[in-house]
Each structure stands twice: as C-alpha cells, then as structure tokens.
Amino acid sequence: MTVDIKQLLIFDFDGTLIDSVPDLADATNAMLATLGKETYPIETIRNWIGNGSRLLVERALVGKVEVLEGELTVEEANYAEHLFFEAYKNLSGSKTVAYPDVDNGLKKLKAAGFTLALVTNKPIRFVPKILQSFGWQDLFSEVLGGDSLSTKKPDPAPLLHVCKALNVTPEQAVMIGDSRNDILAGQNANMDTFGLSYGYNYGQDIRELNPTEAFDAFTALVEYIFKNYTIDS
C-alpha cells in the first residue's frame, strides 16, 4: 500500500464540522419576519446554505435556490443582509452543535502532527466566537472567512492563500468539506478532496462531484487519514 505524504488538512466549517442550520434558519426567519415576508421551515432553509450569507439572504427573499437576475434590487438585498447579520449576531449560538466525533477527531489529527486550517464561506466576523464556544480556537493555524479575500470557494484562491501562508504545496494538502463549493475549490487548487455526505449540498450526493474519497461519518475520515497519509517530517 502506498502512503502519501500530507501536511495540511483544510476543513470547511458549516456542514462539515458544525451543524449551524438551526441558528442560520432562525436568523433568516427573523429577517423575513422583520420585512413582513413569509417564513420557512428549517428543512427548506437547509437547502439554501453553503454559498455564503448573501446568497442565503437572496434565496430567502425569493423563496427558492435559483435567484434570477433582476428579481431583487441591490438595495433590497443589502438591507435584508443587514437585518440577517443583526439577527445572527444576537443569537446565542446554543443551537449550533458539532457533528459526532468531530471534536475528538480534530484533536487526534492535531496531536499526530497534521497542520489544520479552516476555510469557510461564513463571514469571518462570526467565526471566532463559534470556534471559542467549542474550544477550537487553537486548533487551526489559518482561518479564512468568505469575506477574508476578494473571492471565496469554489474559487481556489482561499485554499492557495492558506498553502502559501503555511509554506505547504497544494500536493501536500487536502480539502475536506460537504458541498460542491469545497470539492470544486480543492479540485481547482489541484489538491486531494474529501467529501462528507452528511452536510449541506443542496440535495446532491457529494460523490457525484468525484472527490478523491467520500465518507459518511467523521470517524471514517479520520481513520482513512491515519491509514493512508503520513506527515513529511
């Protein structure tokens, strides 16, 4: 069996490490209620998450995944996004939970010597508080939000930025996520990609995007990494 040398594990956040849908859904419905619009059940909103806050807000305003050009004015979307951010900021975050075995798995990987990074499309202002709530603030060597750079996933730029900052080549890195944005970003950056099937991928099976490997549980991902990857020392 060939064991690949890897150093850097880049993780997505929402849908990969944490289930934040309940808080995001509450904030979305609070925004809609403030605007006097129809609110939606959590399972509907779940399918709108994964492309960052702006598109989530726009999808909620039109009530569907595809937002057509001209359906919303920039002013409408800007105001609604402002309301969404205010609502999300005021939530306690108590409904956001880590997926099973993520806490233990991350700590095992870190202890084994892998470098961990976090690249999310969530606005960066909301990330530190959530990391701290789980005690993960010291696990990740680099943390990027969706607005940390001028582009976000599926653009490979955030992944390549992290690699450069940590002096790691893309070939020594793996992108791990639950949605097409994660897999496409990793593929565009020419790095291995691991898909997790339990997250938010708009109802599409993550395996259809041809990740390097796909897993149904975080424990299976961690076991695979320990079995197939070694660290370049």
Is 12 a catalytic site residue?
yes
- Catalytic option among 12, 14, 23, 182: 12
60 in Cβ contact with 40 (< 8 Å): yes
Helix H or strand E encompassing 188:
helix 180-188
What backbone phi and psi angles, to 5 degrees, belong to 4? -80, 150
List C-alpha distances in Å: 191 to 110, 159, 173, 178, 185: 20, 9, 6, 16, 9
In angstroms, the CA 47 to CA 21 distance is 10
Is the torsion defined by CA of 139, 178, 145, 53 positive or negative? Answer: negative
Collapse the DSSP code of 233 into the 3-class scheme (helix H, G, I; strand E, B; otherwise coil) and give the result.
coil
* 130, 136, 141, 143: CA torsion to nearest 10: -10
Which residues are part of the catalytic machinery?
12
